[in-house]
A and B are shown apart, each in its own frame.
Chain A
Amino acid sequence: MQQTKQRLLTGNKALAEAIRLEMERDPNVFVMGEDVGVYGGIFGATEGLFQKFGPERVIDTPISETAFIGAAIGAAAEGMRPIVELMFVDFFGVCMDQIYNHMAKIPYMSGGRVKLPMVLMTAVGGGYSDAAQHSQTLYATFAHLPGMKVVAPSTPYDLKGMMISAIRDDNPVVFMFHKTLQGLGWMDQLDASIGHVPEEAYTVPLGKANIVREGTDITIVGIQMTVHQALEAAKRLEQQGIQAEVIDLRSLVPLDKETIIQSVKKTHRLLVVDEDYLSYGMTAEIAAIAAEHCLYDLEAPVKRIAVPDVPIPYSRPLEQFVLPNADKIFREAIQLVNE
């Protein structure tokens, strides 16, 4: 087999490269947010952009999320293509009116006459003791509300390709990146946060799940960090003679139901893993899809692993207890296969 040269990038560099390429391609693209300029974004998503494009196109804002997210809406309505960063998704509380009552609803309320081609980029995820106001993913909070695409890529390759798709999309896109998958020097070093990323611009479609590991005995559905945990669990399951199929959802809205249904029809068992809260969340949605479309293909009840309806605690043992991990997935999968 011919060896192709691998160009390895961290998640944050892949993301910044996507934005750079689109800014070079389209003068209407600009970035706005807190510390996105000289600092390069607290989680590195805009690294190097200020130096390249200057303060007119990479705009540091005051701590005024309502005003700058609202301004992105106003600029998008004028045909610009803003990317705004909400530093932590947890800060949505101070600006959710702009996000939900305006960004998500204006295209609909205008009968499709007003387009809002904007990206709301935001950092999600815990696991590093940042406690209840800085560790959530809130995937389902956004995905529940119609009018926004909601994506959450898990590899550097997808971060770049899906960011380019998001910028080119004429709909508002909530683009969630996982802090620990950015590959930053000051967080846990995970192999998953570094990956092959081609130099040129390319797109990865929004709304298409990815089967990241094929298997025949059980389907494990995850997103972002839980995909990597599921892959680790799958390796150990293989040693037990169990072939797990792992699906990376990548997009919550639109949701690729078909890939999930086809996989369940093949494996007859479904485990859904989420770093968001358990109740009324993504795991429940996937379970409902299975119940509606392939209930009779299931040989065992659907199982779910998610944050057990408590705020994310601070202390390490407490936090590790509530977050999903490979061990929990492994144990649950073994039980499910033996049922």
Chain B
Amino acid sequence: MAISKDHLLWMYETMYKIRCYEDKMAEAYAEGKSPVFNIGAGPVPGEMHLATGQEPAAAGMCVHLKKEDTVTAPHRPHHHAIAKGVDLNRMTAEIFGKATGLGKGKGGHMHLFDPDVKFSCGGIVGAGIPHALGAALAAKKRGTDWVAVAFIGEGAANQGAFHESLNMAALWKLPLIVVIENNQYGISVPKTASTAVPSNDVRAAAYGIKGYYVKDNDPIDMYNVSKEAVERARTGQGPSIIEIETYRYLGHFQGDPEVYRDKNEVTLLRQKDPIIRLRNYLLNECGVTEETIAQLENKATFEVDQAYAFARESDYPKPEEALEDVFV
């Protein structure tokens, strides 16, 4: 399959940006939380689920999407949001609880909504699939070629919403793609202890739809598979499931003691980091220079820095604004 070099460069920049963003978020989140960890303290309070290591799923899919396509994401949503082009300043401000945030500080890190690029996410496992189903239904009713992508974790494939939505999407041949990021753990429970099949792509057979499997967090493979699934959806060939074997380098949430896995596991995973692999591929197979890579990295870092500065400099909402926006 022909791979566009521009696409790969975009993917690299996006994955790098996600990594920078999450690294910086881990630091910001830690502020005010030592020596005693208090989940409600510091400039970024509450639960924090970071996607470090899971960049290929978001970048490999979203490179094929346009503004009019819909993306729904779960409780670990930053990589999808960044890849879908959510306003980084307002997203970061939202996570810092500021009035300039996407939801004026009412949503927080698990509840980011940017209708300008048709992105949403939520904190209930599997619940975003029906929303993507509805977007796919709307796209079909309006005769557009828009598609809807629901990103979920492998734990969500065991939710009723997964089954109900895929049955309906298949029944009505809707342009829905469900991307399952199998990061190996549902909080602490390994997939082998939660799921009866070795990989969820085989569940596609239950709906008579296409199932794809991407091994070992491979960005290029994710790119190829997503391209096919998106093309199928755009041309009326119905829904697909993609499962990607991916890795979460950090805990389920920041502060997770991670008693359920070997301390060396992440060290080994980082040795085959997908960003480094894509970088090498660009340098060795695509004739991209170190300078170009450095430019992309600088641009990404700059955007991230700017977003954090914007968030920190923004004001908190007035307390009584809590009473607004219940009804429009």
Chain A residues with a Cβ under 8 A of chain B: 30, 56, 61-62, 64, 66-80, 82, 94, 97-98, 101-102, 106-115, 146-147, 149, 170-171
- The answer to whether A74 and B132 touch across the interface, beta carbons within 8 angstroms, is yes
- The answer to whether B120 and A70 touch across the interface, beta carbons within 8 angstroms, is no
What's the minimum C-beta distance from A25 to chain B, rounded to whole angstroms? Answer: 17
Contact of B164 among A67, A106, A111 (CB under 8 A): A67
- Cα distance A106–B128 when bound, in Å? 12
Interface residues of B in 278-310 (CB under 8 A from A): none
- The answer to whether A62 and B124 touch across the interface, beta carbons within 8 angstroms, is no
What's the minimum C-beta distance from B162 to chain A, rounded to whole angstroms? Answer: 9
24 A-B pairs in the complex with CB atoms less than 8 angstroms apart: A66-B130, A66-B164, A67-B161, A67-B164, A67-B168, A68-B168, A70-B133, A74-B131, A74-B133, A75-B141, A77-B115, A77-B135, A78-B139, A80-B141, A97-B127, A106-B122, A107-B326, A108-B326, A111-B101, A111-B104, A111-B107, A112-B104, A113-B113, A113-B114
B14 within 8 A of A: no
- The answer to whether B325 and A67 touch across the interface, beta carbons within 8 angstroms, is no
Chain A residues lying within 8 Å of B113, measured Cβ to Cβ, are 106, 109-111, 113-114
B210 within 8 A of A: no
B257 within 8 A of A: no
- The answer to whether B161 and A112 touch across the interface, beta carbons within 8 angstroms, is no
- The answer to whether A67 and B130 touch across the interface, beta carbons within 8 angstroms, is yes
Using A71-B137, A75-B137, A80-B138 as known contacts, say yes or no to A112 and B127 having CB atoms under 8 A apart.
Answer: no
Chain B residues lying within 8 Å of A98, measured Cβ to Cβ, are 127, 130
B102 within 8 A of A: yes
Chain B residues lying within 8 Å of A97, measured Cβ to Cβ, are 124, 127
Using A77-B115, A111-B103 as known contacts, say yes or no to A66 and B161 having CB atoms under 8 A apart.
Answer: yes
- Cα distance A101–B130 when bound, in Å? 13
- The answer to whether A114 and B120 touch across the interface, beta carbons within 8 angstroms, is yes
- The answer to whether A56 and B134 touch across the interface, beta carbons within 8 angstroms, is no
B266 within 8 A of A: no
- Cα distance A75–B168 when bound, in Å? 14
How many B residues are at the interface, by size bracket?
35 or more
- The answer to whether B137 and A74 touch across the interface, beta carbons within 8 angstroms, is yes
What's the minimum C-beta distance from B170 to chain A, rounded to whole angstroms? Answer: 11
Q: Which residue of chain B is the closest to A56 with respect to CB atoms?
A: B141
- The answer to whether A102 and B325 touch across the interface, beta carbons within 8 angstroms, is no
Chain B residues lying within 8 Å of A70, measured Cβ to Cβ, are 127, 129-131, 133-134, 161, 165
Highest count of chain B CB atoms <10 Å: which of A71, A79, A110: A71
Classify the secondary structure of B's interface with A: mixed
Contact of B168 among A61, A73, A112 (CB under 8 A): A61
B260 within 8 A of A: no
In the complex, per-residue mask of B84-118: 1 if CB is within 8 Å of any chain A CB, else 0: 00000000000000000111111100010111001
B148 within 8 A of A: yes
- The answer to whether A73 and B134 touch across the interface, beta carbons within 8 angstroms, is yes
- The answer to whether B134 and A109 touch across the interface, beta carbons within 8 angstroms, is no
Q: Which residue of chain B is the closest to A253 with respect to CB atoms?
A: B327
- Cα distance A71–B132 when bound, in Å? 7
What's the minimum C-beta distance from B127 to chain A, rounded to whole angstroms? Answer: 6
Highest count of chain B CB atoms <10 Å: which of A62, A76, A82, A106: A106
- Apart from A64-B165, A94-B160, 6 more pairs, CB < 8 Å: A62-B164, A75-B137, A79-B138, A107-B326, A108-B106, A111-B113
Using A61-B168, A71-B168, A74-B133 as known contacts, say yes or no to A113 and B160 having CB atoms under 8 A apart.
Answer: no
- Cα distance A68–B114 when bound, in Å? 23
B189 within 8 A of A: no
What's the minimum C-beta distance from B46 to chain A, rounded to whole angstroms? Answer: 13
Using A67-B168, A70-B134 as known contacts, say yes or no to A106 and B120 having CB atoms under 8 A apart.
Answer: yes
B324 within 8 A of A: yes
- Cα distance A24–B141 when bound, in Å? 16
B54 within 8 A of A: no
* Closest CB pairs A-B (n = 10): A70-B130, A74-B134, A67-B164, A71-B134, A111-B104, A64-B164, A110-B113, A74-B131, A111-B103, A75-B134
Chain B residues lying within 8 Å of A30, measured Cβ to Cβ, are 141
- Cα distance A97–B327 when bound, in Å? 19
- The answer to whether A74 and B327 touch across the interface, beta carbons within 8 angstroms, is no
- Cα distance A78–B148 when bound, in Å? 11
- Cα distance A147–B327 when bound, in Å? 6
- The answer to whether B326 and A146 touch across the interface, beta carbons within 8 angstroms, is yes
B276 within 8 A of A: no
- Cα distance A72–B132 when bound, in Å? 10
Contact of B127 among A79, A101, A109, A170 (CB under 8 A): A101
- The answer to whether B70 and A78 touch across the interface, beta carbons within 8 angstroms, is yes
- The answer to whether A77 and B131 touch across the interface, beta carbons within 8 angstroms, is yes
- Cα distance A147–B165 when bound, in Å? 25
B187 within 8 A of A: no
- The answer to whether B168 and A78 touch across the interface, beta carbons within 8 angstroms, is no
B196 within 8 A of A: no
B328 within 8 A of A: yes
B167 within 8 A of A: yes
Chain A residues lying within 8 Å of B101, measured Cβ to Cβ, are 111
Interface residues of B in 155-208 (CB under 8 A from A): 160-161, 164-165, 167-168, 171
Chain B residues lying within 8 Å of A66, measured Cβ to Cβ, are 130, 160-161, 164
